[in-house]
Structure 1
Amino acid sequence: MPTDREPSDFIKTLHLVFLATFWGMQIWVTCISGFVMGSSLPRHMLGFIQSRLFPFYFHIGSVCAFCNLILFAMYHPRELLSEEETTQLVILFVCVALAMLNAQWFGQMTSDIMADMHIIEQSYGLGHDISLFSRKSYTHLQTTNHRYQALCCHLTGYHCLSFLCNLGCMACNSLSLHYLATHLSTL
């Protein structure tokens, strides 16, 4: 039930926990762990870990984004919204939409395509090299195997869409954190 009264400290804390959890996961997964694992692990091990880790990441992010939207909307009735609050509500809604697209579609398609590619790579004896440091063998496979070439094109497309959704969520969460920071009365 929407209300024009101030949310309790518990609700404020809960809202901040959901926002900080999602934003922190995004920073860790996007900016740190991906590069560390990509430069340290064999290609197929990296793909296996990502295929297990990313669904949790995307779904937890979707839940956090949805909870943030609901908590904000509960305490900001539509008829009492300022322009700034309306913007914040739109940002939270966009974050939910992008997170859910990634969780339900782009992330899953990327993992499925990568698994198909790994089967082909294994049949050619590839996939045991460190992911970021070997491209020559995969480029050759792409030119000689048309199915692999098609999978690479699909993977690139879905991976780009997934990355853009993730980047959009990071931007939304950064704007939401800025909004919260500018509305703190004291630290």
Structure 2
Amino acid sequence: MCVRSVPSKISAGEAAEILGTTGKVSRPGGRRAGGPPPPSFHERRISTAKGTAGVKASQDTTILSQLMIILRVTTQPFHVVAMVAVLVVSAVFFPWKGDEEELDTKARQLLGLLHLTAFATQFGSQIWMTFASGLSLYFSMPRHIFGQIQKVLFPLYFTLTGALSLVTIFTYSQLHPVQNNGPTQMVAMCACFITQLFARLCLCPPLIRFMETKHKMESMASSGDITKCPRYMQYSISFRRTHSATALCNIFTMACTTFHLHHLAQQFCI
């Protein structure tokens, strides 16, 4: 058998041909000729820092999205609101043991100012939302745009008036204990707060959901009478019922605030 021997030396032409074929010649130390130099220590630190910052940003985004899911979907925030409401109502009907005269003059003035500010803001918000904002938007905006605006305003309105009603109850209970002045005003304000809380937690979410579903089905209906669709009519009836219940809650809360307004007017000397 004949074996061809490998030449020990490579000519210059063969070396050039090999270099043209591969395009790379290894140098001592493992680095290839013609390739980019390895990154420096400072560049590696910058790259590592950018990677770490990206990971932290993604983690922060994930935490924020989870928090928004908790606030919008789960019932845990409702539990917190219920606990705070029970604590405030307990503090109202079972106040600290002490006489009304123990409050100094400056503290009573501050509580009175806070009470009037909260009540005036609450009553003004009810008047504006019911008679100014609602009617003007209803007659000047297209129906779908009006629904989109109300979807934002309804939860904010009941949240604001509920919080102001809570402040009103607390300040009035500190200035006028229930045992000394009768429970009439306190019962009216507590009923107002409970109604606003019920409207915000139990009526606003399904109202918005029904409205969004109705608008989506109306936009998807290319032709034909959509009122003939049983599913659409079911959502429409549910929307009307929920909207009517929300309106009744608003009427009742305005009656309660008007009752307290009459009480405050009897106390003033102008």
Name the TM-score class by shorter chain: 0.7 to 0.9
Task: Provide structure 2 residue ranges, at least 5 long, that are not aligned to the other structure.
Answer: 1-94
CA distance in 2, matches of 1:176, 1:78: 15
The two structures have a TM-score, normalised by structure 2, of: 0.59
Q: 1:154 aligns with which of 217, 224, 238?
A: 238
Please tell me whether residue 69 in structure 1 is matched to residue 166 in structure 2.
no
The residue type equivalent to 2:226 in the other structure is L
Contact 1:95 1:169 (C-alpha < 8 Å) held by counterparts: yes
Cα distance in structure 2, aligned partners of 1:90 and 1:167: 17
Tell me, in whole angstroms, the C-alpha distance in 2 between the residues paired with 1:105 and 1:122.
27
Matched, 1:4 2:104: no
Q: Kindly indicate whether residue 259 of structure 2 is the aligned counterpart of residue 175 of structure 1.
A: yes
Larger-gyration structure (1/2): 2
Equivalent-residue separation in structure 1 for 2:260 and 2:181 (angstroms): 16
Say if 1:4 and 1:80, in contact at 8 Å, map to a contact too. no
Count of equivalent residues? 170
Cα RMSD after superposing both structures: 1.9
Deviations 1:11-61 (A, max 9, x none): 111111111111111111111211111111111111111111111111001
- Pairwise mapping of residues 25-174 of structure 1 onto structure 2 (< 5 A)? 25-82=125-182, 86-124=183-221, 140-142=225-227, 144-174=228-258
Secondary structure, aligned partner of 2:209: helix
Q: Hey, what's the Cα distance between the residues in 1 that align with 2:222 and 2:136?
A: 24
**Offset of residue 107 of structure 1:** 2.0
Q: Which has the higher helix share?
A: 1
* 1-structure distance, mates of 2:185, 2:240: 32
- Equivalents in 2 of 1:78, 1:170: separation in Å? 22
User: 1: CA distance between counterparts of 2:124 and 2:152?
Assistant: 19
Give the TM-score, by structure 1 length: 0.84
CA deviations 1:146-169 (Å, max 9, x no partner) are: 111001111111111100111111
Q: Which string of whole-angstrom CA distances, capped at 9 and with x for unpartnered residues, describes residues 119-170 of structure 1?
A: 00111259xxxxxxxxxx9xx422x111110011111111111001111111
Taking the aligned partners of 1:145 and 1:16, their CA distance within structure 2 comes to: 51
Look up the equivalent residue of 1:163 and give its one-letter code. Answer: A
Corresponding position of 1:16: 116
Inter-partner Cα distance in structure 1 for 2:230 and 2:125: 37
Q: Distance in 2 between matches of 1:125 and 1:95?
A: 44
SS in 2 for 1:8: helix
Counterpart CA distance in 2 for 1:28 and 1:77 is: 32
Distance in 2, Cα, partners of 1:112 & 1:175 = 34
Residue type matched to 2:172 in 1?
F
Displacement of 1:108 in angstroms is 2.2
Unaligned runs of 5+ residues in structure 1 are 127-136
Higher RCO structure, 1 or 2 (CA under 8 Å, sep 6+): 1
